[in-house]
């Protein structure tokens, strides 16, 4: 399938608008809101409360929702400007089909008929698993649940996965290994009670800004802050101790800390004996991790490593936070478990002010991985290969075990199988893998090999530009449902406006497709998000992620309910593990040995510099939404190479110079940004842009053996000064925007 031109509007906005969005015809100078709707931000996993102002069928502004307990009215720049995307001229209003000259509108009936015919053709010829589904965790819990059921019972395929595979799965796998459950151990209200806060691989101030407030509240009462990251991030600039380690050496540091906790008798031996298993094995894996060895591997001074161990080990209360920096690696699960080993060794977890959590990146990253659109899970955080778990879900769904497919391929593995020709068709819902998967040249080649590709989205993303059929779907504010925040708090998403044009909600589209595929008996009762949630409650009941006692009314009354919540008279569970009780059958936590191993790709003579990637405060993931909000685009209009002045001087690079960054996958030419807040052996590129500006042209497809997450954060690269005529044309356009031209 060749990549054909798209319509003019999509090409014009490929890299973001020059002006803020507005409804067709424009807004009056001061639109008068008719009502406000209490809901939540559509972006990161903090899920901040917000009040949307509505006039007619348009969201025209917002008010702070000061009563919502998590953010108390505070919002980051993305939250403040989120309402602007709804009126963007690129909004998909009709079903679209690919033609020889680009995309053209098509009738809904024709779109449905052709999609069902192509799914049937491919599966009849190649088998059920030759058609795959990818979905996103910006979806509500109801849609995530439905996506899992749709793939397995409507498509009958095992090949379903989601873009949370690129985010929190290493944390989830590590948590389940250690604790028997995949959730933050505490609500964020425990952070201000901590005496020491350890933040590793998490750019909190830019990627989870409201969490910064909780850390400041702890610091106001005297808490110490340790930040571990190859870059001196905004939060690290205020830390009591910043540890800028080499990329990919995180578990060397945490093993070194465990080694010192044992050597200095800072391990809570009673807690370890009474509430855990596996300590001796974990300690043996860290036996050789002396301060001198740890220093040699991480590049950190021995004194700094020892200071960190003292601060952590001697604290009365402590909270450890991590995010993608340690998880986006081919040993992400090991990194997570090495952090948990540090937490368990002190014996403080489960007490007020003593916690552990991953900072979930995507809007419903927590709920999305609990209810079934992950290739190895069923609703309630159940294991798809566990016979008892399968029997429970079959009972709820009314299907046989033979009708329920088994474990499928992960997101990157699905793309690999498409590239190899084993998967012929794809349904993609709210996922932009052409920007967000590693080695984007490989991803583009794979998409072009599909015999049929159908996309459900509200904008024509870079991935959707390869589709044969596109169904226009609904924005966050155009549907009802629930979401689950990084804390494990289940919240209500409230519909503010109707979808425009012929756009429909994702659940309506999937239910109609299921009916036309002859599987309506499993889906016909889904007449509203509330009806889907009622079944989700039954499906999750008895699982570790138990929503059985959660209702819409209870969520609204309590402003969120923390799972597990097994019965309607149960208040929910903000703090897990109180009294040293964990979710494994014996009630004990597990130390997991994490012997040191290097990343899959290391620097060498040909590629002597480390490359890492991430985002800044004005960006959200692949940019399908935030590259269409003018204010956010203007604050950071184009990508760049962040480089230390010492490395830049060695390479003859000055501020703004055209700089080529090459890996074994490809090359980008971007302007240099000289900063002293990065290691001299490392460069950083924000990954928000597509095509010739996409950082994921450079990253590798190495996967963690357990979580199957790609190694986005650690690549070996070569950096050279080049000439401005090598800047891509689209970069020159964005640079002109940055200059106000």
pLDDT band for position 168 (cuts 50, 70, 90): confident
What is the average pLDDT value for the chain, to the nearest integer? 93
Identify the domain boundary among 358, 390, 424: 358
User: By percentage, how much of the chain surpasses pLDDT 90?
Assistant: 86
Q: Which two tokens stand for residue 302?
A: 């021995």
Q: Is the pLDDT of residue 422 over 70?
A: yes
411-420 vs 440-449: helix axis angle to the nearest 10? 60
Residue 6, pLDDT score: 36
Rounded Cα distance between 42 and 83, Å, is 9
Cα dist from 440 to 433, 444, 619, whole Å: 8, 6, 19
Whether residue 313 is found in the same domain as residue 231: yes
Closest C-alpha among 498, 493, 501 to residue 478: 498
74 domain residue, yes or no: yes
Do 379 and 313 share a domain, yes or no?
no
pLDDT, residue 514, reads 98
Residues 418 and 339 in one domain: no
pLDDT tens across 298-309, in order? 999 999 999 999
> Is residue 131 scored above 60 in pLDDT?
yes
Assign residue 21 the CATH number of its domain: 2.20.25.90
Residues 176 and 321 in one domain: yes
> What is the C-alpha radius of gyration for the chain, rounded to an integer number of angstroms?
25
* Structure-token match 């977890």, residue found: 349
* pTM for the predicted model, two decimal places: 0.94
Write the DSSP symbol of residue 231.
Answer: B
Q: Which residues contact 529 (CB under 8 A, 6 or more apart)?
A: 140, 142, 479, 480, 481, 507
564, part of any domain: no
Tell me what the mean pLDDT of segment 215-237 comes to: 97
- 326, 341, 358: which is the final residue of a domain? 358
Is the distance from CB of 208 to CB of 408 less than 8 angstroms? no
End-to-end Cα, the chain, rounded Å: 38
In the predicted model, what is the mean pLDDT of residues 76-98? Answer: 91
More confident residue, 198 or 620: 198
Domain membership of residue 386 (yes or no) is yes
Cα distance between residue 381 and residue 543, in whole Å: 6
Tell me, yes or no, whether 342 and 383 share the same domain.
Answer: no
Total domains, the chain = 4
Q: Quote the pLDDT of residue 626.
A: 86
Residues 82, 101 share a domain: no
> What distance separates the 2 farthest-apart alpha carbons in the chain?
72
pLDDT per residue as tens digits for the range 569-579? 999 999 999 99
CA–CA gap between residue 446 and residue 450 (Å, rounded): 7
Q: Do residues 162 and 176 both lie within one domain?
A: no
Domain co-membership, 181 together with 243: yes
Q: How far apart are CA 336 and CA 173, in angstroms?
A: 9
Q: Does residue 523 form part of some domain?
A: yes
- Helices in 1-140 by DSSP H: which ranges? 8-12, 77-81, 108-126
Contacts of 226 (CB under 8 A, 6+ apart): 196, 197, 198, 199, 239, 240, 241, 242, 243, 308, 311, 312
Rounded Cα distance between 368 and 164, Å, is 7
pLDDT at residue 24 tops 60: no
Please report which confidence band the pLDDT of residue 29 belongs to, taking 50, 70 and 90 as the band edges. low
Q: Which two tokens stand for residue 671?
A: 């302007």
Write down the pLDDT at residue 19: 42
**Within-domain flag for 590:** no
Last residue of a domain, one of 548, 564, 580: 548
pLDDT (mean) for 472-489: 95
Residue that is written with structure tokens 């929190």 in the block: 168
We report the CATH number of the domain holding residue 692 as 2.40.40.20
Instruction: Confirm whether 404 is domain-assigned.
Output: yes
Mean of pLDDT values over 711-724? 97
Report the alpha-carbon distance of residue 175 to residue 333 in Å, rounded. 9
Residue 646 lies inside a defined structural domain of this protein: yes
3-state class percentages of the chain: helix first, strand second, coil last, to nearest 5: 40, 20, 45
Q: Which residues contact 639 (CB under 8 A, 6 or more apart)?
A: 668, 670, 685, 686, 688, 689, 693, 695, 731
Residue 304, SS3 per DSSP: helix
Instruction: Summarize the confidence of residues 317-330 as an average pLDDT.
Output: 95
Distances (CA, A) of 723 to 392, 426, 458: 62, 41, 39
What CA–CA distances, in Å, run from 485 to 142, 307, 357, 502?
14, 33, 12, 31
DSSP assigned state of 65: -
Average pLDDT over residues 658-685: 97
- Domain holding 274: CATH number? 3.40.228.10
* 264 has a pLDDT exceeding 60: yes
Whose tokens are 């429970």? That residue is 392
| pLDDT at 113 > cutoff 50 | yes
Number of Cα atoms under 13 Å in the Cβ half of residue 639: 31
Task: Give the pLDDT band of residue 25 (cuts 50, 70, 90).
Answer: very low
Domain interval for residue 51: 8-87
Say yes or no: 717 and 617 in one domain: yes
Residue 469, both tokens: 């059929």
Tokens for 243, please give them: 């540890």
Helices 291-298 and 302-314: crossing angle in degrees, nearest 10, is: 120
pLDDT at 537: 98
Question: Residue 103 belongs to a domain with what CATH number?
Answer: 3.40.50.740
**Sorting pLDDT into bands at 50, 70 and 90, what band is 273?**
very high
Instruction: Tell me, yes or no, whether 513 and 379 share the same domain.
Output: yes
Residues 421, 542, single domain; the answer is yes
Nearest-CA neighbor of 325 among 181, 168, 487? 168
* Assigned domain for 482 exists: no
- For residue 61, pLDDT over 50 is answered with yes
Nearest by Cα to 612 from 693, 686, 719: 686
Shared domain check, 348 and 221: yes
């Amino acid at each position: 399938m060749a990549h054909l031109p798209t319509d003019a509007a999509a090409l014009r906005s490929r890299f973001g608008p020059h002006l803020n969005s507005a409804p067709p015809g424009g807004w009056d100078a001061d639109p008068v809101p008719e009502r406000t709707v209490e809901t939540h931000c559509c972006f990161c996993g903090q899920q901040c409360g917000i009040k949307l102002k509505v006039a007619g069928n348009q969201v025209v502004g917002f008010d702070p929702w000061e009563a919502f307990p998590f953010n108390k009215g505070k919002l980051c720049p993305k939250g403040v400007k989120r309402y602007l995307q709804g009126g963007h001229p690129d909004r998909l209003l009709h079903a679209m089909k690919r033609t020889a000259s680009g995309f053209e509108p098509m009738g809904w009936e024709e779109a449905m008929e052709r999609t069902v015919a192509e799914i049937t053709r491919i599966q009849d010829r190649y088998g059920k698993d030759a058609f795959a589904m990818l979905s996103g965790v910006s979806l509500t819990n109801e849609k995530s649940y439905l996506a899992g059921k749709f793939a397995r019972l409507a498509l009958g395929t095992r090949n379903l996965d989601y873009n949370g595979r690129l985010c929190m799965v290493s944390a989830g796998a590590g948590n389940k290994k250690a604790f028997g459950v995949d959730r933050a151990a505490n609500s964020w209200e425990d952070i201000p009670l901590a005496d020491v806060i350890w933040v590793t691989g998490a750019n909190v101030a830019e990627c989870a800004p409201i969490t910064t407030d909780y850390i400041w509240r702890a610091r106001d009462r005297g808490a110490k802050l340790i930040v571990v990251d190859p870059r001196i991030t905004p939060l690290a600039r205020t830390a009591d101790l910043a540890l800028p380690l080499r990329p990919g050496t995180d578990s060397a540091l945490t093993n070194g800390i465990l080694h010192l906790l044992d050597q200095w008798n800072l391990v809570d031996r009673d807690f370890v004996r009474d509430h855990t298993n596996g300590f001796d094995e974990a300690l043996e894996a860290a036996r050789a991790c002396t301060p001198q060895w740890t220093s040699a591997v991480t590049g950190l001074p021995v004194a700094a490593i020892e200071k960190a161990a003292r601060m952590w080990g001697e604290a009365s209360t402590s909270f450890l936070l991590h995010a993608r920096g340690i998880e986006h690696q081919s040993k992400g699960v090991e990194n997570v478990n090495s952090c948990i080993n540090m937490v368990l060794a002190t014996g403080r977890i489960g007490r007020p002010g003593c916690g552990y959590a991953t900072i979930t990146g995507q809007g419903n990253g927590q709920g999305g991985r609990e209810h079934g659109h992950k290739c190895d899970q069923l609703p309630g955080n159940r294991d798809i290969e566990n016979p008892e778990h399968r029997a429970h879900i079959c009972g709820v769904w009314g299907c046989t075990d033979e009708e329920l497919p088994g474990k499928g391929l992960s997101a990157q593995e699905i793309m690999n199988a498409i590239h190899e020709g084993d998967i012929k068709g794809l349904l993609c819902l709210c996922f932009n893998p052409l920007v967000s998967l590693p080695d984007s040249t490989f991803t583009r080649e794979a998409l072009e090999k599909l015999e049929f590709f159908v996309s459900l989205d509200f904008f024509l993303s870079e991935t959707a530009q390869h589709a044969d059929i596109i169904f226009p779907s609904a924005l966050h504010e155009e549907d009802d449902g629930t979401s689950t925040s990084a804390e494990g708090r289940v919240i209500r998403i409230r519909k503010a406006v109707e979808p425009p044009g012929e756009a429909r909600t994702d659940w309506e589209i999937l239910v109609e497709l299921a009916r036309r595929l002859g599987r309506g008996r499993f889906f016909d009762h889904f007449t509203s998000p509330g009806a889907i949630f009622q079944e989700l409650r039954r499906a999750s009941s008895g699982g570790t992620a138990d929503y059985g006692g959660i209702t819409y009314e209870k969520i609204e009354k309590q402003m969120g309910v923390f799972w597990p919540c097994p019965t309607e008279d149960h208040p929910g569970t903000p703090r897990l593990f109180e009294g040293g009780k964990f979710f494994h059958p014996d009630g004990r936590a597990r130390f997991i040995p994490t012997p040191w191993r290097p990343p899959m790709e290391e620097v060498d003579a040909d590629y002597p510099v480390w490359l890492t990637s991430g985002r800044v405060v004005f960006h959200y993931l692949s940019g399908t939404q935030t590259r269409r909000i003018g204010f956010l685009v203007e604050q950071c209009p184009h990508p760049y190479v962040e480089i230390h002045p010492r490395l830049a001087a060695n390479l003859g690079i000055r501020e703004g110079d055209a700089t080529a960054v090459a890996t074994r996958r490809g090359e980008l030419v971007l302007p240099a940004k000289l900063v002293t807040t990065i290691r001299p052996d490392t460069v950083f590129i924000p990954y928000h842009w597509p095509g010739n500006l996409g950082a994921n042209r450079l990253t590798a497809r190495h996967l963690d053996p357990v979580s199957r997450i790609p190694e986005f954060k650690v690549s070996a690269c070569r950096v050279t000064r080049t000439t401005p005529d090598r800047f891509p044309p689209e970069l020159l356009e964005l640079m002109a925007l940055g200059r106000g031209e």
